Amino acid sequence: MSKLSDYYDLYRKIHLLRNIPRVWNYLKYRTLPRKTKIPISRHTPQIAGLIITKRCNLTCDFCSIGKELNHKGWRDMEATLDKVKRIFANPLFANCIGVDLVGGEPLIVKELDSIIAWLSKRGHYVNICTNGLYLTNNRITELKHAGISRIRISLYDENQKFLENNLARINKVFPVHTSIVLERKAVENKNEQDKLLEKTRFIHDAGSLDLLFMIYRPMGISPNPKEIISETLPAYIEFKSRIEKELPGFCQWSPANQTEKVKKRCPQVWQRIATDMLGNMDICCGTEMKLRGPNSNLFESENDPEALFNHPTLVNLREKLLDPKSGPPEMCKNCNLLGEPGW
């Protein structure tokens, strides 16, 4: 979340009285200085990321699920309402304001509506990110009635034809946010730039709330790959200027790869906690790597919430992010969230 309208949307959709503990938790997170070790009495994460499936109807090379996508053991990894309730029984998740339901493709999950309804009744702001291919009129109406707070549709070549025919219809039922993965080869080609501009016009005219350009980053690559857009790339500067001139304020831009000294402002290891349905904890949303060793699984009885939140890997990352004399942690060097202050 970054724009003022996002905060208003959050305020409008959460149940305020039910969320007094979460609002208090959020205020502590915003006002207290960041520490490497955090007692959960001080504050707990603001965002819960739930990997509710590792199946998808597409195969994108930048997907954070990586090699586990469409894994043969998918049934154990698929969300049910009982599994989600078990996760939220842990105090570490109790005061999260936002819950991101991610995959894979979330709309594949059979119990998705029940999960959304239960989280919404608890007062959480529930988001999903989807490729939209399963968003029939009935399906989006069902999600709306279940209590979904935000839907973001990612546009790819594989779903472009479907969305050209259906995005306006979808927005009439439930206005959505949209995103496009921005590749360097596209912004450096004038014809491709023109196509992206035309696509942006279409998304705007179809009634979407906004368009987020996400910088392409294939998983598991070296710190300075040629495929990634840098903030000083002339073609990127030109493209961004063209978009902003024609549709000012409609598009959001994830930070491009920074070429000069980076401000280490990333909030992820303080504000977000993520797990799959087996209780395996993510390091952060910018890597497919999991926490390892003791205190890395939500369901192991000896792992108290504070030990999970202060896992040695997370503490080490926090130390390096807070130390003005050190460079960014190795796994953070190529992440477009490194210079992002967070919400």
Q: Fill in the amino acid letter for 167.
A: L
Model confidence pLDDT, tens digit, residues 27-63:
999 999 999 999 999 999 999 999 999 877 656 555 5
Note whether residue 110 is domain-resident: yes
Contact 39, 315 (CB under 8 A): no
Contact 277, 79 (CB under 8 A): yes
Note whether residue 55 is domain-resident: yes
Note whether residue 160 is domain-resident: yes
Cα separations in angstroms, 198 against 154, 203, 244, 258: 16, 9, 13, 28
| Structural domain count of the chain | 1
Model confidence pLDDT, tens digit, residues 259-293:
556 677 788 899 999 999 999 998 887 777 788 88
- Name the 3-class secondary structure at 32: coil
Q: Three-state SS string across 139-201, please?
A: HHHHHHHHCCCEEEEEECHHHHHHHHHHHHHHHHHCCCEEEEEECHHHHCCHHHHHHHHHHHH
The two three-digit tokens of residue 101, written as one number: 């339901």
Contact 65, 51 (CB under 8 A): yes
Note whether residue 161 is domain-resident: yes
pLDDT by 10s per residue, the chain, length 343? 455 556 556 655 556 666 788 889 989 999 999 999 999 999 999 999 999 998 776 565 555 555 555 556 656 779 999 999 999 999 999 899 999 998 788 999 999 999 999 999 998 999 998 888 888 888 889 999 999 998 999 887 778 888 888 899 999 988 999 998 888 888 999 999 999 999 999 999 999 999 999 887 665 544 455 677 877 889 999 999 999 999 999 998 877 666 556 677 788 899 999 999 999 998 887 777 788 888 899 998 666 889 999 999 999 999 999 998 888 787 777 676 777 766 5
Residue 166, number of CB atoms within 10 A of its CB: 19
Which residues have CB under 8 Å from 218's CB, separation 6+? 61, 62, 225, 227
Note whether residue 195 is domain-resident: no
Question: What's the chain's Rg over C-alpha atoms?
Answer: 20
Note whether residue 247 is domain-resident: no
Note whether residue 238 is domain-resident: no
Cα separations in angstroms, 200 against 181, 185, 207: 12, 17, 11
Cis peptide before 104 (omega within 30 of 0): yes
Residue 10, number of CB atoms within 10 A of its CB: 18
CATH of the domain at 304: 3.20.20.70
CA distance 157 to 160: 5
Note whether residue 130 is domain-resident: yes
Show the domain range for 41.
4-175+261-332
